[in-house]
Structure 1
């Protein structure tokens, strides 16, 4: 089991990362809550990881802190919840907020997450409420996003839209989510964060 990676970030396009560890490139998928926390291309980063082994692939998921990885591992134990859905949930809602939704039985909030219908939301609450009973809430994981003064708005919108689509939103939904984005936002990560926050 690969539990931790430390290396140089050489590619970054949500939710995919490529990390060079002593000459070996590891492909990692990270939820946006972690994606927004990591550094710029060329920087040294460290991620906690979870390896999923399937018959046709070995998939590596990365997290900026232990709390996110713990929530991911708790999610994939739920019947019908695979790594892709778990990644989408943690990309749309930080682990702390998700835990509160489970603890407070907030079905309506959970059904706003991509890929989560009413039945799935109810199953998440039933199967996770005991596991999260001792969860200690912490500060939100959404950190302030480093701004880029030279970024082109159309390029940023395109990046944000592609990321939302990769998380399971339909193209028209992603376009609608970004259609009223304030003009003073000059970071695609910030666009994604605000678009997802608007769905809560």
Structure 2
């Protein structure tokens, strides 16, 4: 499975980009926020990816962070939410806003996404409320990310992918950061964070 791409932004449209990696152009579908973060043609970009395979289609979805990819996975796990709908939510709201909306039960905020009606927004909020964790965890992710850059966000995402709730993963990575210091590598953050989350 393709988990990450680093290359040159070759071309882009309203919901896609072509990333040239050593002469091979990968068509990547993405949210508006991820596309904005990529910059302009010719820029060097890195995107986290998710490969979706169906009976008659195979598409690569790109994300600006591991956290955005984790939320995409949570959203597409809900009945009635496909990849296009999940990208619409992530285009309208930042990861922090989605987390805040789910944690506080704010369906109206999720309904701001194109094509998401009140009924579906309510289902999204209800099903993801527990996974969103408490409100401080969103702030914790932001603080950890600011302190350590993308390594802490990727470590939080890795722990979430292993089944830990966002608030547990965030607290574990924050404790790992305190223990290891600012220059900690991703592997070390995940290893120590895993011990703290399981402990």
TM-score range, shorter chain: 0.5 to 0.7
Q: Which has the higher contact order (CA 8 A, sep 6+)?
A: 1
Quick check: which one's helix share is greater?
2
Structure 1 alignment gaps of length 5 or more: 140-200
CA distance in 1, matches of 2:80, 2:47: 26
Deviation of 1:4 (Å)? 0.4
CA distance in 2, matches of 1:110, 1:24: 36
Partner of 1:124: 124
Q: Could you say what secondary structure the match of 1:2 adopts? A: coil
CA distance in 1, matches of 2:75, 2:110: 13
What is the TM-score normalised by the length of structure 1?
A: 0.66
Find runs of 4+ consecutive structure 1 residues off by over 4 angstroms.
none
Aligned: 1:136 with 2:135 = no
Instruction: Map residues 179-194 of structure 1 onto 2, 5 A cutoff.
Output: none
Query: What do residues 6-51 of structure 1 show as CA deviations (whole Å, max 9, x unaligned)?
Result: 1111102221100111111100011111111112111211110011
Aligned: 1:55 with 2:30 = no
Partner of 2:68: 68
CA distance in 2, matches of 1:92, 1:110: 8
Instruction: Map residues 65-104 of structure 1 onto 2, 5 A cutoff.
Output: 65-104=65-104
Deviation of 1:109 (Å)? 2.0
Deviation of 1:136 (Å)? 2.7
Aligned: 1:45 with 2:45 = yes
Partner of 2:31: 31
* Aligned CA-pair RMSD: 1.4
Deviation of 1:73 (Å)? 1.0
Partner of 2:17: 17
Deviation of 1:132 (Å)? 1.3
| 2:100–2:138 Cα contact (<8 Å) kept | no
Deviation of 1:111 (Å)? 2.0
| 2:91–2:113 Cα contact (<8 Å) kept | no
| 2:102–2:129 Cα contact (<8 Å) kept | yes
Structure 2 alignment gaps of length 5 or more: 143-199
**Matched positions, count:** 139
CA distance in 2, matches of 1:39, 1:114: 23
Partner of 1:7: 7
